[in-house]
Structure 1
Amino acid sequence: MIFGKHATLAVLRAQNAPQKVNKIFLQHGLHNDAMTEVVQIARQQHLVIQDAPKTKLDDLADNGNHQGIVLTVTPFAYTELSDLLQLLQNKQELPFFVILDNLNDPHNFGSILRTADAVGVNGIIIPKRRSVGVTSVVAKTSTGAIEHLPIVRVTNLVQTIKELKERGIWIFGTDMQGTDYQKWNAKGAVALVIGNEGKGLSPLVKKQVDQMLTIPMVGHVQSLNASVAAGVLLYQALRSRSTN
């Protein structure tokens, strides 16, 4: 399920929308600019539209904030790491990845996707187990970023990081003890690892990190929400990668 106006419009504007969207449910009696645009695009692409009561949409969206629009779509298509690396090589782009180490909160995942897209990250890597995958909540929170960012799901995160290092990609992690993030030189081929909301980086992943980054804190709380920390670090990366 995809729900909410921003996530819906991002899906409908994608080139593969006719192959991806099964049906569009619109809340009966609700009219606004977003719904008008959804109807226009759907008719152009000959997609199935169905009026439905709010209770039906509430059920489909698991009581999420659907804003009167719910899509049923084909399962999310994850990208193979080898395909993503080959694509970047063909485009002569240096990898700029975010690796999520057992992130569990779909809202954090969606927020990180949104920020990653904004700063030019060209791939997200997540583990298959003990980690949130792409869900309806992730799609809505990302406000459509999942339509533009390749997401790779791997069996063994440690082995994947080793493979990335063998390909010349520098791995950066976050920790209470490390280099001030403002000194981070993020030029070149890099990957930033964001850890679990409560436990941070897992010990085996931490061993593979080339450099630890820390965000100085002067208040009483000595940790940041995962998506907030990712946002701070990713914009430092953008600043670093944008300067000569």
Structure 2
Amino acid sequence: MQIQENYRGIIMGTASNEEIIYGKNAVTEALKAEKPIDTVFVLKGAQGMNQIIALAKKQGIVVKDAGEDKLKALCGDKHGGVAAALSAVSYCTVEDILANAESKGKPPFIIICDEIQDPHNLGAIIRTAEAAGADGVIIPKRRSATVNPTVFKTSAGAAAWIKIARVSNLVDTIKTLKKHGVWVYGAEADGTPIDKADLSGALALVIGSEGFGLGKLVKENCDVVLSLPMFGKVNSLNASVCAGILMYEAVKYR
């Protein structure tokens, strides 16, 4: 296990290759520096954590109550009542993704994950997106899995190669993409059959959450809603499977 001083506190490498910062000063400084933090763990009943909680929530970082056993498992006895798990990747901006497409001389090809909460699904989507040549993946800051070590591992390392943006508001992001000439296609059971769609040109594919599909406002702001043919008795597909089919349907046009 490798330990090093940082942010006037400690960063500890765990068995899962997740990096943990612990101690009030260390976590506060990392938050102020807007380091890519996945989750902040606060000891239940701990005092003096208001600033940390406020900074984390302002940045859309998940804050979890944690018991003594959880914090000890993450970083040992001297945790100081708080710990933070660093993200497995550094996030980029939506503008970075658009610039990536421009640098290739091709129309943008973007994947948007609308509140995908299962890290295995998000990892699988990222893996397929990288393989299909997408310019980037966009995820929301709230009610979504982040690129933690589980997601990174499930992506088979693809998360290190594809640009991933984490945004505060998906609807605003969709509107921004439209201003750049990107057509936005959502995936829902009641949409236009995929074989009737023209997926050429600049496009973003929106994959809805596992349990609820596309959010109401997200769906309303899609240019087109697409559906896949279903011939069995089960009326839905796993989110990452659906994403993979749609991505490679788009690849046909690129």
Gaps of 5+ in 1: 1-21, 27-58, 61-71
Q: TM-score, structure 1 length as denominator?
A: 0.67
CA distance in 2, matches of 1:196, 1:73: 24
How many Å apart are 1:74 and its aligned residue? 7.5
Distance 1:76 1:182, change over 3 A: same
Query: Aligned ranges for residues 185-204 of structure 1 at < 5 Å?
Result: 185-204=198-217
Aligned residue for 1:83? Answer: 96
Work out the CA distance in 2 between the residues paired with 1:143 and 1:90: 25
Deviation at 1:88, TM superposition (A): 2.6
Distance in 2 separating the partners of 1:74 and 1:108: 17
Contact 2:107–2:202 (CA<8 Å) still a contact in 1? yes
Three-state SS of the structure 2 residue aligned to 1:151 is: strand
Shift in CA distance, 24/89, structure 1 to aligned 2, threshold 3 Å: same
Higher strand share: 2
Q: What pairs with 1:123-202 in structure 2 (closer than 5 Å)? A: 123-202=136-215
Which has the larger helix fraction? 1
Asked if the contact 2:87–2:147 (Cα under 8 Å) also holds between the matched residues in 1, the reply is no
Looking at structure 1, the residues matched to 87 and 124 of structure 2 have their Cα atoms a distance apart, in angstroms, of 22
Alpha-carbon contact 1:184-1:240 (below 8 Å) kept: no
Question: Compared with structure 1, are the counterparts of its residues 138 and 183 closer, same or farther at alpha carbon in structure 2 (3 Å cutoff)?
Answer: same
The reply to whether residue 94 of structure 1 matches residue 107 of structure 2 is yes
Which letter maps to 2:114?
A: D
Query: How far apart, in 1, do the equivalents of 2:86 and 2:210 lie?
Result: 29
SS at match of 1:116: helix
TM value normalised by structure 2: 0.65
Following TM superposition, by how much is the alpha carbon of 1:25 offset from its aligned partner in structure 2, in angstroms?
6.8
The aligned counterpart of 2:127 is 114
Tell me if structure 2 keeps the 8 A contact 1:184–1:237: no
Q: Displacement of 1:181 after TM fit?
A: 1.2
1:140 alignment partner, SS class: helix
Residues 157 and 219 of structure 1: CA distance in aligned 2, closer, same or farther (over 3 Å): same
**SS across alignment from 1:240:** coil
Identity of aligned residues (%): 47
For residue 40 of structure 2, what is the aligned residue in structure 1?
Answer: none
Compute the displacement of 1:186 (Å): 1.5
Q: What does the per-residue CA deviation read over 1:119-177, in whole Å, with 9 as the maximum and x for residues that have no partner?
A: 11110001111111101110111001101110000111100000101110000001111
2:242 pairs with 1:238? no
CA distance in 2, matches of 1:211, 1:74: 33
Q: Which runs of 5+ in 2 are unaligned?
A: 1-11, 17-72, 75-84
Partners in 2 of 1:25 and 1:91 — Cα distance? 38
Across the two proteins, how many residue pairs are aligned to each other? 177
- RMSD of aligned Cα (Å): 2.2
Secondary structure class of the residue paired with 2:252? helix
Question: In the TM superposition, what is the alpha-carbon distance from 1:86 to its structure 2 partner?
Answer: 2.5
Asked if the contact 2:89/2:160 (under 8 Å) is kept, the reply is no
